[in-house]
């Protein structure tokens, strides 16, 4: 039979499984006797609820604009890991979110491209590929021509009589 656990018990276990405590599931099984599959299920359900809350806009990070995100990245840049954890708890954020925002700002990908820019980018990529293909073809043709030229010179050098032999053979004929 399935055991029913109270919501307070589930919440306390989930809180210990997540940051800042990060108790491992096997350790929690030893401590509480709750099956590991149940603990994994609870943790996954909690994380899914968090993702859904962020997507629906109920999460604090969902209402932040890029300027506010940048301000948070700048504020948290000098914090230690412990201080960052406290800061995130106060603001209702996760350190991973802040790291993601930082990467986004560093890479400059905070503003999505519109349809015209994407089309232009696609055309430029196709042109670049075509030019690279043509350049490779021409490089191969040039290498082949150079090889043929070298072989032709070697052939001529092997089959032509050296100057010294030419002059002695002409004297002998006369």
Q: Which two tokens stand for residue 36?
A: 């590991």
Is the Cα torsion angle 31, 36, 42, 45 positive or negative in sign?
Answer: positive
CA distance 48 to 51: 5
Provide, rounded to the nearest whole percent, the portion of the chain with pLDDT above 70: 80
pTM beyond 0.85: the answer is: no
| Long-range contact pairs involving 88-91 (C-beta distance under 8 Å, separation at least 24) | 89/20, 91/60
CA separation (Å) from 68 to 54, 80, 103? Answer: 16, 21, 15
Q: What is the pLDDT of residues 18-69, one digit of tens each?
A: 776 778 889 999 999 999 999 999 888 887 777 666 555 555 666 788 888 8
Q: What is the pLDDT of residues 63-95, one digit of tens each?
A: 788 888 888 999 999 988 888 888 888 888 888
CA distance 117 to 167: 75
């Amino acid at each position: 039979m399935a055991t029913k656990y109270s919501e307070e018990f589930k919440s306390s276990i989930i809180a210990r499984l997540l940051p800042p405590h990060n108790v491992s599931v096997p350790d929690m099984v030893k401590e509480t006797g709750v099956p590991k599959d149940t603990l994994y299920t609870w943790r996954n359900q909690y994380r899914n609820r968090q993702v859904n809350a962020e997507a629906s806009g109920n999460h604090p990070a969902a209402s932040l604009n890029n300027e506010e995100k940048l301000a948070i990245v700048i504020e948290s840049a000098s914090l230690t890991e412990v201080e960052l954890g406290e800061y995130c708890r106060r603001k209702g954020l996760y350190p991973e979110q802040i790291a993601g925002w930082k990467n986004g700002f560093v890479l400059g990908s905070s503003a999505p491209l519109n349809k015209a820019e994407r089309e232009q980018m696609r055309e430029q990529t196709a042109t670049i590929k075509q030019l690279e293909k043509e350049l490779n073809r021409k490089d191969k043709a040039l290498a082949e021509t150079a090889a043929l030229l070298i072989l032709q010179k070697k052939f001529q050098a092997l089959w032509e009589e050296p100057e010294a032999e030419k002059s002695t053979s002409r004297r002998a004929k006369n």
